[in-house]
Structure 1
Amino acid sequence: MRIAVGQLRVARDPQENLKRIEDLTVQAAGARARLLLLPEGLISRDAQDPDATRAGAQDPDGPFVSELLEISRRHGMALAGTVHLKHGDKVVNAFLVADRGALAARYDKLHLYDAFNDKESDKVTAGDDYPPVVEIDGVRLGLVTCYDLRFPEHSRHLALNGAQVLLVSAAWVRGSLKEHHWMTLCTARALDNTAYVVASGEISERNVGLSCVVDPMGRVISAAAETEDLIVADLEPQRVADVRAKLPVLANARFAPPTLQPYPTSTPNEKE
């Protein structure tokens, strides 16, 4: 599977963001990518106004998600990234995977960013279920949203349920050593699960960008810096199988994984 990662500055205006997403989709399709991964919080963001994301939240069937599905259909692409959806007096941070116009998966962020003097839980309601592993063209993808990356049991649970690729949609906040944390964690999650990590980061005065693709041996095979960009990489399921054969950390684990509620694994075809 050829995958593209879009690194963009999310604007306050949802229509501006949709135009940028369409432009990136056209570029990704031109590069023959099958899936375009986008960063966290795609509907609305303002680095100078921390309430902009909640204020811009829409309904699940609102105009932003509807147009996102339409872009996916129009270009025959899979699109993945997170949007904030209305949920009572708060919102949920929903990681959506759209494939050729249909919603293939949704995951509501579990681990809210209540760290480094931030408190996401003041505005966002945490999800209740672990994300599904969604299959596209025979490749199994697990979903990780930003702060989830710091919780190894999250990614391990996905790997044990068949994920070959971890898709990370993020808006990683700047700060002392934070760029180091980001790259270290992306590499660690690839190594400790012998899986590809494909990570898209929003770029702004607040967030670091640094989108990357890391292979199952922890090697960065494609990366962006601190500007808007589109990077492309080829993911090979056989590479995952080969690495897991010679580095069988999943099979060799002596401790049982944490007790978690089971979550469904599905493909779009199984839902039809």
Structure 2
Amino acid sequence: MAEETNQEDQMGTTLRISLAQVTSGTEPSDNLKIIDSHAHAAKEAGSSLVVFPEAMMRCFGGPIRGVAEPIDGPWADAVREIAQRIGITVVAGMFTPADEGRVSNTLLVTGPGTDAHYDKIHLFDAFGFAESDTVAPGSEPLTVDIGGVTIGFATCYDIRFPALFQKLGDLGAELIVVPASWGSGPGKVEQWSLLARARALDSTAFVAACDQAEPADAEGAAPRGVGHSIVSSPVGEILGELDATPGLLTVDIDTGLVESVRKTLPVLGNRRQF
């Protein structure tokens, strides 16, 4: 019997989101200007939420300890001011101080009525890069209600771990956003797209994965981004996708589809623990 989802008569909340596929640089103050301009563009597009990539505070490929600031420090406060002034919720990657001289790879989630953060749980110790040398892992999943939609958060390498997305689904996430600075290499773009769709199927939620645009000067093992930001439906349908270059992807999320899929394909309820 074919798997079908009846989308008729499904009442849900619609949330318009934008993914800002940009290239962050080495100067945190310059990156704030990028956030400001693209948050304005997202607001003009009618979005209530704009998602920026991981490492928006400073790109990978150089020292990050020196730029780390507390979650209530001046860089985060500047992002808060942008979000409040424009009237949009902003998700952006930054670095906050952690133990043993390391930092946390942190997502700041801020906007009208919202202020939260998520520390990346799975660290990118792969493909010749050792994120754990300088970054301490987080431990707690995060969901936040934005515009009546429960949103979960993950960062880059987290997307390779289905259990986190299933947990976010258990916590009620209808949309999971994944800021990233994806490492380049053979097959990596294809893996990125496949993983975003697979995690949507695992969690029966929308997945909005926002990567850094592919930089012109990428060298070495540091993950600098490959672009190809993507939004997947709960059944793995691609709702929007960019190429490798900078761009703004705007998509409407209808939570009625999540409710419908979870009734007809209840993988979260059917799964067994081993």
Fold agreement, TM-score > 0.5: yes
2:89 aligns to what?
78
Aligned amino acid, residue 63 of structure 1: P
1:12–1:52 CA contact under 8 A, matched in 2: no
The alignment status of 1:7 with 2:18, answered yes or no, reads no
SS where residue 80 of structure 2 aligns?
A: helix
Give 1:120's aligned residue: 131
Aligned partner letter, 1:177? G
Choose the corresponding residue for 2:50, options 18, 25, 36.
36
**1:95 Cα deviation (Å)?**
1.3
3-state SS of the aligned residue for 1:199?
Answer: strand
Task: Output the amino acid matched with 2:118.
Answer: Y
RMSD of the TM alignment (CA)?
A: 1.4
Q: Distance in 2 between matches of 1:53 and 1:200?
A: 21
Any unmatched runs of 5+ in structure 2? 1-14, 219-223
Show CA shifts across 1:150-206 (max 9, x none).
110011011011111111011000011111110110010011211100011012233
**For the residues of structure 1 that align with 2:233 and 2:212, how far apart are their CA atoms?**
21
The separation in 2 between residues aligned to 1:167 and 1:143, in whole angstroms, is 5
User: Is residue 18 of structure 1 aligned with residue 29 of structure 2?
Assistant: no
Cα displacement (A) at 1:118: 0.7
Matched, 1:252 2:273: no
SS of alignment partner, residue 43 of structure 1: coil
Q: Which amino acid aligns with 1:196?
A: F
Give the Cα separation in 2 of the matches to 1:98 and 1:143.
Answer: 13
**Map of 2:248 onto structure 1:** 230
Secondary structure of residue in 1 paired with 2:40: helix
How many equivalent residue pairs? Answer: 251
For 1:200, the equivalent position in structure 2 comes to: 210
Residue 144 in structure 1 maps to residue 154 in structure 2 = yes
Match of 1:94 among 91, 106, 111: 106
Task: Tell me, yes or no, if structure 1 residue 62 matches structure 2 residue 73.
Answer: yes
Which residue is 2:4 aligned to?
A: none
Letter in 1 for 2:136: T
Distance 1:103 1:87, change over 3 A: farther
1:110 equivalent in structure 2 = 121
Compute the TM-score of the two structures, normalised by the length of structure 2.
Answer: 0.88
Q: CA deviation at 1:42?
A: 1.1
Shift of 1:103: 5.0
Query: Which deviates the most, 52-61 or 17-26?
Result: 52-61
Residue aligned with 2:141, SS: coil
Pairwise CA distance, 1:15: 1.5
What amino acid is aligned across from residue 116 of structure 1 in structure 2?
F
Q: Tell me which residue corresponds to 1:176.
A: 186
Name the TM-score, length of structure 1 as normaliser: 0.89
Task: Verify the 8 A CA contact 2:71 2:96 in the aligned structure 1.
Answer: yes
